[in-house]
């Protein structure tokens, strides 16, 4: 096993241990609820959190309930780690290809080495 195989195997192991994630960004938004007697209609809009994500290049949003905010933060955070690991695994796969020595050439090389 090459050092690239070793690094890729390690990254794959870490990827398998990743926690739930979401490929979206968490954004704080300010909203007015529509009630004309609510304080938001004058000066203080309500604060809410949404996740924004893309589907076929279109940005979509989904409301994040307050009681799930901490959990959703972790999902967003975890995706950064997942993305990093995916990049690492892909990089090592490419390195394996670039450094590959065909079996026939490897045999020829080891014969030459043992003769000298
Ligand atoms: Zn309101």
State the Cα–Cα distance between residues 98 and 103, nearest whole angstrom.
Answer: 14
Residues of the chain with pLDDT under 70: 116
What local confidence, expressed as pLDDT, does residue 3 receive? Answer: 95
Task: Measure Cα distances from 68 to 19, 54, 81, 115 in Å.
Answer: 16, 21, 20, 68
- Asked whether the whole model's pTM tops 0.85, one would answer no
36 Cα: distance to centroid of ligand 1 (angstroms): 8
What local confidence, expressed as pLDDT, does residue 116 receive? Answer: 59
48 Cα: distance to centroid of ligand 1 (angstroms): 11
79 Cα: distance to centroid of ligand 1 (angstroms): 33
Find the distance separating the first CA and the last CA of the chain, reported in whole Å: 25
72 Cα: distance to centroid of ligand 1 (angstroms): 24
State the Cα–Cα distance between residues 57 and 51, nearest whole angstrom.
Answer: 15
Angle at 98 between CA 18 and CA 114, to 5 degrees: 115
What local confidence, expressed as pLDDT, does residue 79 receive? Answer: 97
């Amino acid at each position: 096993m090459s050092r690239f195989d070793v690094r890729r195997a390690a990254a794959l192991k870490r990827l398998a241990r990743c926690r739930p994630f979401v490929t979206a960004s968490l954004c704080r938004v300010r909203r007015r609820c529509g009630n004309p007697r609510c304080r938001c209609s004058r000066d203080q809009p309500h604060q809410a959190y949404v996740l924004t994500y893309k589907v076929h290049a279109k940005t979509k949003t989904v409301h994040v309930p307050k009681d799930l905010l901490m959990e959703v933060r972790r999902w967003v955070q975890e995706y950064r780690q997942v993305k990093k690991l995916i990049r690492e695994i892909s990089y090592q796969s490419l390195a394996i290809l670039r450094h590959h020595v065909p079996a026939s050439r490897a045999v020829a090389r080891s014969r030459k080495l043992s003769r000298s």
